[in-house]
Amino acid sequence: MVDVHAALDRAGLRNVHVREYVRYWAELTGVARVEVVSAADDARLIAEALAEGEIQPAGEGRYYSRSYAKDTARSEERTVVATSNPADKGVYNNWRPAAEMRRLLEERMRGASAGKTMYVVPYLMAPAGSPLERYAAGVELTDCRTVALHMIRMARGGVAYSEGLADPGSFVRAVHVTGDLENLGQGTPEDQRYFVTIADERTILHFGSSYGGNALLGKIAHGLRQAAYDGWTSGEFLAEQFMLIGITDKVTGRRYHICGGFPSASGKTNLAMMLAPAALADRYRVDFYGDDIAWLRVDPDDGRIYAINPEFGVFGVARDTNEKTNPIALASVAPGTGTLFTNVAYNDDTQEVWWEGRTPDPPADVTGWRDWTGKLICERPAEEAGAPWAHPNSRFTTTLANVPNIAADFDDPKGVPIDAIIFGGRASDREPLIRAIADLAEGVYDGLTLGAEATFAAEGIDGLLRYDPMSMRPFMSYHEAAYAAHWLKLIGSARSQPIFAHVNWFQRDPEDQHYLWPGYRDNLRPLLWLLRLQAGEVHGRPTPVGTVPVRGELDLDGVAIAPGDLETILAIDTPRWKQEMKYRAEHLEQFTDLPEQIWQAHRRVAEALDDAD
């Protein structure tokens, strides 16, 4: 039997609670070896993974891996939030009883790591010294070396974190067991996978995947689901799937911070990594803090909302990342960064990687190129000729320090004060470029009714959004009415209120489908307008759904936009909005006991739209 204690002694891991936790799961899963790892082990783990063929070199200091073909994305149907209190059941959290899920997962995990190494990764989902540090500590146990390599990039890690706990027994227990991927029945009625957060026991048990979104337990399972639950039960904070950026006005020296939620495929990572457009670059600088998660709390000293990015890296979608859409992301994965690519296309001979949208066309010379499943492109049968080379959810994993415009204070334990909270989904009509919302209940209402058009025609009805409240639909860990109440209470308790806004970069011309707004770097312009509105420097035009810019208030220096297009994206399409209000009412009615302030906000907007006729 594996000598767990000797391995923990060697690593200097003395916390008795962590030791007992590791012993329990090492014995249950049947691992052959236990190893405590941190960033200091990266070079050795990389060398071992290369030697075992788990990863391949992708140019200097970069690596490539393929996952099992049926294990390429998060599985929302197999994801569960369990507690001992049935009242925690909401619409989206797939609630199940804690005792039942623990039993089930223990059954699945028993002996399932036989012969493997258990990597013990103590981690912290916060800058060290953060006021939220006690909610940030965790120890992931994983039987997969590439998962350990990802964790080292995505979370601050090391024994110091588990040794230095103020309450030595208080850490998230996060167990990942890969399972026999080829025999798990993924997507069938016999699906064996389970991704469970037992939120009131601060325990995460994920079985049946080695894909990052299911296996890097610090990120989504702890950083979002567990943290959202902890933030609610403690009353201390919000954990949201939000990007976080800083904007510096180099003339006045003022710094602003904006965070916000965007459903997937709505440009969140590109926005988070945005640079100022050339015409404004002398005056403004945009700093990156995070692309995916923010924890928000009220600071007792100045009464403002402060945000941290609890992560230490970026686990970004590769598809469509190129010099125009996101030059910062490309620089962040450049040679020498230690980046891990997953499920992109790979060239055996040159060690290059490629994904759809990296260049307009795939490499012309297909020699050596394999698609994400490992098939040589030159051997593809004719009927597969047009199939993507990279998986649509192929990823790059790189640490924050590799992002060229990472904010100088990204590691500040206090976090940064938030000026504005924005929401934005992909909508081809109705939603203007930006509409500002000063009222808290209307801002929270806007977040709860956030949605994006279904990506595939088959999944959606024309004009109907797939609602994704606050972009947290897959990460909700308690019921939505309590979630709304927690938002109202926490943000409402701040002495200085952030402004809310809804943005949309994706309106199209109904005739020829061209995008009406250029997007990308130019998205800074409506955000600057929002900050000027908050400062009282511009006044905009009030509408039933918020304040929109009047033409002259947007700095459009250097933007090529047709006057008619600008008019459309600053207009409110009242009939379409009235139609949307009916869908919103149906969406909100699912959430029993929603706070009355949210319904009042809904009715205020609906009545204002009626009066606008």
Interface residue list for ligand OXD (CB under 6 A): 74, 213, 292, 315
Which residue's CB comes closest to Mn ion? 292
Residue 542 Cβ vs ligand OXD, minimum distance, rounded to whole Å: 35
Place of tokens 């929002």: 530
Residue 241 Cβ vs Mn ion, minimum distance, rounded to whole Å: 5
Which of Mn ion, ligand OXD, none does 354 bind, CB closer than 5 to 8 A by kind? none
Which listed range, 115-123, 251-259, 286-294, 428-436, lies at the site for Mn ion (CB under 5 A)?
286-294
Decide: 56 and 50 in contact? Cβ < 8 Å.
yes
Measured in degrees and rounded to the nearest 5, phi and psi for residue 207 equal -130, 125
Residue 439: alpha-carbon gap to chain centroid = 26
As a whole number of angstroms, the distance between CA 458 and CA 287 comes to 38
As a whole number of angstroms, the distance between CA 406 and CA 413 comes to 15
Q: Which CB, 208 or 546, lies closer to ligand OXD?
A: 208
User: Which of residues 71, 143, 292, 431 is near Mn ion by CB under 5 A?
Assistant: 292
Contact flag: residue 291 with Mn ion (CB under 5 A): no
Which of Mn ion, ligand OXD, none does 432 bind, CB closer than 5 to 8 A by kind? none
Q: Which CB, 398 or 597, lies closer to ligand OXD?
A: 398
Q: How many residues does the chain have?
A: 613
Q: Which CB, 213 or 246, lies closer to ligand OXD?
A: 213
As a whole number of angstroms, the distance between CA 417 and CA 298 comes to 9
Q: Which CB, 150 or 370, lies closer to ligand OXD?
A: 150
Amino acid identity at 439: D
Which of Mn ion, ligand OXD, none does 143 bind, CB closer than 5 to 8 A by kind? none
Contact flag: residue 54 with Mn ion (CB under 5 A): no
As a whole number of angstroms, the distance between CA 209 and CA 193 comes to 7
Q: Which CB, 202 or 219, lies closer to Mn ion?
A: 219
As a whole number of angstroms, the distance between CA 604 and CA 596 comes to 12
Q: Which CB, 13 or 224, lies closer to ligand OXD?
A: 224
Decide: 574 and 612 in contact? Cβ < 8 Å.
yes
Residue 264 Cβ vs ligand OXD, minimum distance, rounded to whole Å: 6
Q: How many residues bind Mn ion (CB under 5 A)?
A: 1
Which of ligand OXD, Mn ion, none does 315 bind, CB closer than 5 to 8 A by kind? ligand OXD
Q: Which CB, 214 or 449, lies closer to ligand OXD?
A: 214
Amino acid identity at 492: G
Q: Give the 3-state DSSP-derived string for 360-403, with helices as H, strands as E and coil as C.
A: CCCCCCCCCEECCCCCEHHHCCHHHCCCCCCCCCCEEEEEHHHC
Residue 309 Cβ vs Mn ion, minimum distance, rounded to whole Å: 12
As a whole number of angstroms, the distance between CA 223 and CA 227 comes to 5
Measured in degrees and rounded to the nearest 5, phi and psi for residue 125 equal -95, 65
Q: Which CB, 291 or 446, lies closer to ligand OXD?
A: 291
Burial class (CB in 10 A: 0-12, 13-18, 19+), 320: middle
Residue 254 Cβ vs ligand OXD, minimum distance, rounded to whole Å: 31
Residue 315 Cβ vs ligand OXD, minimum distance, rounded to whole Å: 5
Residues 6+ apart with CB under 8 A from 46: 55, 63, 149, 338
Decide: 422 and 501 in contact? Cβ < 8 Å.
yes
Which of Mn ion, ligand OXD, none does 33 bind, CB closer than 5 to 8 A by kind? none
Between CA 92 and CA 96, with CA 95 as vertex, the angle to 5 degrees is: 155
Residue 292 Cβ vs Mn ion, minimum distance, rounded to whole Å: 4
Which of Mn ion, ligand OXD, none does 260 bind, CB closer than 5 to 8 A by kind? none
Which residue's CB comes closest to ligand OXD? 213
Q: Which CB, 294 or 598, lies closer to ligand OXD?
A: 294
Which of ligand OXD, Mn ion, none does 232 bind, CB closer than 5 to 8 A by kind? none
Q: Which CB, 231 or 261, lies closer to ligand OXD?
A: 261
Place of tokens 């389970």: 194
Place of tokens 């312009």: 525
Which of ligand OXD, Mn ion, none does 74 bind, CB closer than 5 to 8 A by kind? ligand OXD
Bridge partners of residue 521, in order along the sequence: none
Binding site for Mn ion (CB under 5 A): 292
